[in-house]
Amino acid sequence: MPAISKVFIPAQDDAIAQAILGEEKRQAEGLELIASENYVSPAVLEALGTVFTNKYSEGYPGNRYYGGQTYTDVVESLAIERAKQLFGAEHVNVQPHSGAPANIAAYFAILEPGDTVLGMDLAHGGHLTHGHPVTYIAKLFKFIRYKTTEEGSIDYEEIERLAREHKPKLILVGYSAYSREIDYARVKKIADEVGALTMADIAHIAGLIAAGLMNNPVPLFDIVTTTTHKTLRGPRGGMIMCKAALAKKTDKSVFPGFQGGPHENTITAKAIAFAEALKPEFKEYGKQIMKNAKVLEKELRELGYKLMFGGTDNHLLLIDVSGKNATGKEAEKALDKAGITVNKNMIPNDPRSPMDPSGIRIGTPAMTTRGMKEPEMVKVAKWIDRAILAKNDEAELAKIKDEVKELCKGFPVPGIK
């Protein structure tokens, strides 16, 4: 357990100390299946609490607005160079505070208000920041949304048709609930035909790409955004990678265009996480993430669940639970009581609402970080099924929670004793 939660906080703020201890217990005793969550290493966790949190460093290495930047320049430069090496990027900006700010800054780097963007429909696996009508960004740019086919794959023919019809300034790929590989070369060809720029949001699969296990859009596309957590297993933050020709526009868009001072403690943690991802064992970790996801796919299919997009090529599964006489909301609530954390999620062409949809989304990064492998995934799949079927049976849910807790004793969370 990090010393800071045992020494300084309890002496000053017992309410916060108890909340921290409670969250540590929840994480240690339960299964984290939310596809966008992971556990950072003790070194990354430690970096977030360093004295870099005290430092304002507006600007970029070698060109700051404030003095005293000797060591901030060191850590930020290391983060940039390590990210370049990981992804083969020509230029990297590690200052975005998270994924959504990274996407918005990327838009403003290459678009003008009123420009047309072709991106994935949220209900088919896209993301809010890819132009959903509820977002403010949708008021500034004209978003045209493509969908998946009836078979559950990206409809490249529809992308081509819509691109020819609407002549977008930007074609956007990258998804928050899509579980298949992406043909970036085909998208690039379509974009070149209509004179569009290309952007990929690889937030979910960045770690698998860094490990060389999935297609890498960075050498092909004009601009690529990502979070640094999820499969990349770093701190909560964002990053933009782009062609050298867009470097100045991208940097100016992030600062001073969209953000103020960067969070150098988080950038320090990013640098450490990137160094971890450059190690050979990170590739093995990525392979295990994907193996674990395939086991869950097989087991859940055999248990009678309908899997969106026909299965998975990455770390996540989008599951229709309506065939088990449950909604996504009911499944999420039941699984939470059983010590298994998931998120409710809409499925393509979902007849239900976003807050009470037909599906749930699950992922394997966090469980894999704890060292769980194929045998544990078989158990997890069975627990998921039992909990959903027993959604109104408190005793059965409590029994599953005890079983989950017992398993978790053998797989500690990094940084938590």
Selected catalytic residue, list 227, 266, 268, 341: 227
C-alpha 167, offset from chain centre: 29
Selected catalytic residue, list 230, 233, 270, 391: 230
Residue 275 token pair: 């160094």
Selected catalytic residue, list 76, 201, 276, 332: 201
Taking alpha carbons only, the member of 378, 80, 66 closest to residue 241 is: 80
What CA–CA distance (Å, rounded) separates 387 from 14? 35
* Dihedral sign (CA 72, 76, 79, 81): negative
User: What's the angle, vertex CA 70, arms to CA 64 and CA 71, rounded to 5?
Assistant: 110
For residue 238, the SS3 value is strand
Q: Hunting for tokens 């894999």 — which residue is that?
A: 368
Selected catalytic residue, list 233, 236, 344, 370: 236
Selected catalytic residue, list 29, 37, 46, 58: 58
How many residues appear in the chain?
A: 417
Indicate if 306 belongs to the active site. Answer: no
Residue 184 token pair: 């970036």
Selected catalytic residue, list 56, 155, 183, 252: 56
Indicate if 236 belongs to the active site. Answer: yes
Indicate if 56 belongs to the active site. Answer: yes
Are 118 and 170 within 8 A, CB to CB? yes
What is the maximum alpha-carbon separation in the chain? 64
Element (H, E) at 173: strand 170-173
Q: How far is CA 305 from CA 34, 64, 296, 352, 360, in A?
A: 18, 54, 11, 18, 11
356 beta partners: 353
Are 397 and 333 within 8 A, CB to CB? no
Are 210 and 236 within 8 A, CB to CB? no
142 beta partners: 116
User: Helices (DSSP H) in 211-363: which residue ranges?
Assistant: 247-252, 264-277, 280-302, 328-337
As annotated, the active-site residues are 56, 58, 201, 227, 230, 236
